[in-house]
Amino acid sequence: MKKIAVLISGQGSNLQAIIDACETGFIPAKIACVVSNKAEAFGLERAKSAVIPTQVFLRQDFANNAEMDNAIGDYLQSMEVDLIVLAGYMKILTAAFTQRFCSKILNIHPSLLPKYAGLNTYRRALEAGDTEHGTTVHFVNEEVDGGAIILQAKVPIFPDDNVEEIELRTREQEYRIYPMVIKWFAEDRLCLKDGIAYLDGKPLPKQGYASE
């Protein structure tokens, strides 16, 4: 059974969806640890409730980002994790870290990448007058919100929507598609080769699969 590490910075709602999916057996893997760069992150409490080991790494305890990421990497290696899942981890990983764990890091981003990389995606979509938004699961590389796209889910934006309504609608899809992609990885159906995502031995299209 594969071991997963989940990196968080806040509430950990995606973490909870992953915990639930592991407990029901939907994801045939074990969460070996939860790592946070914020000591007050509520996601740590979610992990403790599920009896999952937690570890906090604070930026102030290290001389630079490289030292911090190296320490996190050493910890994850000691836990013998097979997959690193970013679930609201609000710190940019160093290139050295992403290269060290190349093909073993997943992220979920609240937009239909490559559109709206970065922050404030819901507001940006609303202000642009978009009629749809969505979320993307992708492999992580040294580029912020870059890496091969695996799966996307779209949600509608209605004329009278506000930011909170778009976020709620998008998060519902996140809780559905992130466990699905992690399941594929745990079942050895999903991998990354030469920067291209493969599912069941076939290369995925540039925009990944569209989830219905």
Residue 37 assigned as binding residue = no
107 annotated as ligand-binding: yes
The Cα–Cα gap between 198 and 209 comes to 11
Beta bridge partners of 139: 106
Neighbours of 210 (CB within 10 A): 12
Catalytic entry in 38, 46, 104, 109: 109
**Residue 14 known to bind ligand:** yes
- Asked if residue 91 belongs to a known ligand binding site, the reply is yes
- Strands (E) in the chain, as ranges, are 2-8, 29-36, 54-56, 83-86, 105-109, 132-139, 149-156, 190-193, 196-199, 202-203, 209-211
Is 138 among the catalytic positions?
Answer: no
Residues contacting 2, CB < 8 A, separation 6+: 28, 29, 30, 82, 83, 185, 186
Q: How far is CA 83 from the centre of its chain?
A: 11
Q: Which of 46, 23, 7, 29 is nearest to 181 (CA)?
A: 29
Question: Which ranges of 24-90 does DSSP label H, i.e. alpha helix?
Answer: 43-49, 65-78
Is 92 labeled as ligand-binding?
Answer: yes
Does 13 appear as a known binding residue?
yes
Binding-site annotation, residues? 12-14, 90-93, 107
Binding-site annotation, residues for (6R)-10-formyltetrahydrofolate? 90-93, 107
By annotation, the residues acting in catalysis are: 109
